[in-house]
């Protein structure tokens, strides 16, 4: 388990991190979210010991050692590969930096390329690959040594939906084998789809933390989706309804003043009869992000 405890980091006059605390458990996925400048990359760089900080970061209760860093897979936000190397040379080079011998890594390369649908051969040079395939090679470099801790900084950036799904499956497979995983993303659908919990930073401070369901529940079930023959005007006149938007021919989304008005609305709208849809929900993670993430200037 990775434990981040009361970490602080200042760059000149800018407080990049202010008392950030959270855990990443083995076999769990944490989404680190926030606008650009919120402190996500600074958090990652602190974990990786790229910069000094105040506070404590431990792995299984102990400070991270050189051997522990060999068990970390890190994908930086800024992609960088050595263009004149072949795919095999690039993967082996980065694996050896993690004390993984070439004889162990080389036999795995073809299967990992197939897994990520990389178009090319292991002998192809990096600069002959498309941008998307280069990105997939860097993902292979991050994951091929089966790290115990995986840190992914905007891993879905630039990936089309098909390739994003390949990455999601790879992340879930790593979770299944017990890796602790943390990644940042601006796409809340990715966070909602695969994360067990999230940490939201705003200007270097933690503003939300918990499981996806718990975070959403904090904001109340104030969105109501229903299918009815009632008109928008009739729905808007109901007690406790603060807004109505049409979603389809007979489908509406209602904004409620309080989650508590749901039962009475159900009785009024259904009149004791069958209704195709009546779904009271908390705001989506994307809606929460838009209202709570805020802004910052340094990351």
Q: What is the pLDDT of residues 182-208, one digit of tens each?
A: 999 988 999 999 999 999 999 999 999
Last residue of a domain, one of 185, 217, 249: 217
Report pLDDT for 158.
79
Same domain, 67 and 87: yes
Task: Map tokens 């067990």 to a residue.
Answer: 196
Q: Which domain holds residue 76?
A: 2-217
Measured distance CA(68)–CA(287) in Å, rounded: 37
pLDDT mean over 43-60: 96
DSSP string, 82-104: -TTSBHHHHHHHHHHHTT--HHH
pLDDT in tens, 89-125: 999 999 999 999 999 999 999 999 999 999 989 999 9
**Phi and psi at residue 159, in whole multiples of 5°?**
-90, 135
Report pLDDT for 170.
94
Half-sphere exposure of 198 toward its Cβ, with a 13 Å CA cutoff? 30
Measured distance CA(135)–CA(159) in Å, rounded: 8
CATH of the domain at 104: 3.40.50.300
Same domain, 240 and 210: no
pLDDT exceeds 50 at position 298: no
pLDDT exceeds 50 at position 133: yes
For 192, the token pair is 């909602």
Same domain, 199 and 275: no
Same domain, 142 and 276: no
Report pLDDT for 295.
45
| Residue 157 within any structural domain of the chain | yes
Report pLDDT for 77.
85
Measured distance CA(13)–CA(74) in Å, rounded: 29
Measured distance CA(215)–CA(284) in Å, rounded: 10
Measured distance CA(63)–CA(73) in Å, rounded: 18
Last residue of a domain, one of 172, 191, 217: 217
Distant-in-sequence, close-in-space partners of 111: CB < 8 Å, separation ≥ 6:
none
CB 181 within 8 A of CB 150: yes
Distance of CA 6 to the CA centre of its chain: 22
pLDDT in tens, 3-30: 999 999 999 999 999 999 999 999 999 9
| Residue 293 within any structural domain of the chain | no
**Number of domains forming the structure of the chain:** 2
pLDDT in tens, 243-294: 999 998 899 999 999 999 999 999 999 988 899 999 999 998 998 998 898 6
Same domain, 156 and 252: no
Alpha-carbon dihedral sign for residues 191, 197, 201, 202: positive
């Amino acid at each position: 388990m990775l434990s981040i405890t009361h970490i602080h980091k200042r760059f000149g006059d800018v407080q990049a991190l202010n008392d950030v605390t959270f855990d990443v458990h083995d076999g769990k996925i944490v989404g680190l979210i926030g606008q650009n400048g919120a402190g996500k990359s600074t958090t990652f760089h602190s974990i990786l010991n790229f910069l000094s900080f105040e506070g404590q970061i431990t792995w299984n209760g102990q400070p991270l050692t050189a051997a522990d860093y060999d068990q970390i897979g890190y994908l930086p936000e800024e992609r960088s590969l050595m263009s004149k190397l072949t795919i095999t040379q690039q993967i082996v080079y980065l694996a050896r930096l993690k004390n993984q011998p070439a004889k162990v890594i080389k036999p795995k390369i073809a299967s990992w390329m197939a897994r990520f649908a990389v178009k090319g051969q292991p002998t192809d040079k990096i600069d002959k690959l498309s941008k998307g395939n280069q990105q997939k090679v860097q993902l292979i470099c991050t994951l091929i040594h089966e790290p115990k801790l995986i840190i992914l900084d905007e891993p879905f950036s630039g990936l089309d939906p098909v390739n994003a799904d390949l990455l999601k499956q790879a992340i879930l497979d790593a979770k299944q084998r017990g890796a602790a995983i943390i990644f940042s993303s601006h796409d809340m659908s990715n966070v909602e789809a695969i994360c067990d919990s999230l940490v939201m930073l705003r200007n270097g401070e933690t503003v939300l933390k918990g499981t996806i369901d718990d975070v959403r529940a904090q904001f109340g079930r104030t969105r109501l989706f229903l299918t009815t023959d009632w008109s928008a005007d009739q729905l808007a006149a109901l007690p406790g309804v603060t807004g109505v938007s049409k979603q389809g021919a007979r489908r509406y989304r209602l904004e409620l003043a309080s989650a508590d008005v749901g039962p009475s609305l159900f009785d009024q709208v259904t009149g004791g009869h069958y209704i195709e849809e009546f779904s009271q929900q908390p705001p989506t993670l994307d809606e929460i992000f838009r209202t709570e993430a805020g802004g910052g200037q340094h990351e």
